[in-house]
A = this chain, B = another copy of it.
Amino acid sequence: MTGLRSARPPTVQQYVLESLRAAITTGELAPGAPIRQDTVAERLGVSRVPLREALKILEGEGQVVYLPRRGYIVAELSLEDLVEVYRIRDLLESEAARAAVGRLTDADLERVAEAQRDVEQAATRGDLLAMTEANRRFHFAILGGCGMPRLLRIIRNLWDSTDAYRSVYYNTTANRARVEREHRAILAAVRRRDADDLVRLLAVHRDHAVAALREIIAPPDGTARRAPSRPE
Q: What is the interface of chain A, defined by CB distance below 8 A to chain B?
A: 10-11, 14, 49, 52-54, 56-62, 68-69, 81, 84-85, 87-88, 91-92, 95, 148-151, 153-154, 161
Contacts and interface: CB of A to CB of B under 8 A. Distances in A.
A11 B57 contact: no
Given A56-B56, A87-B95, A88-B154, 20 more contacts: A11-B69, A14-B68, A49-B49, A52-B53, A53-B53, A53-B56, A56-B57, A56-B60, A57-B57, A57-B59, A58-B60, A59-B60, A60-B60, A85-B150, A87-B151, A88-B148, A88-B150, A91-B91, A92-B92, A150-B161
Contact of A92 (B57, B69, B91): B91
Given A52-B53, A92-B88, A62 B14 contact: no
B84 A91 contact: no
A137 B149 CA distance: 28
Contacts of A84: 148-151
A205 to B, nearest CB: 19
Nearest to A57: B60
B14 A81 contact: no
A62 B62 CA distance: 13
14 contacts: A52-B53, A53-B56, A56-B57, A57-B60, A61-B61, A62-B153, A81-B150, A84-B151, A87-B95, A87-B148, A87-B151, A88-B95, A91-B95, A150-B161
Contacts of A88: 92, 95, 148, 150-151, 154
Nearest to A95: B91
A52 B49 CA distance: 10
Contacts of A87: 95, 148, 151
A151 to B, nearest CB: 6
B68 A11 contact: yes
Contact of A10 (B49, B62, B68, B85): B68
A14 B59 CA distance: 13
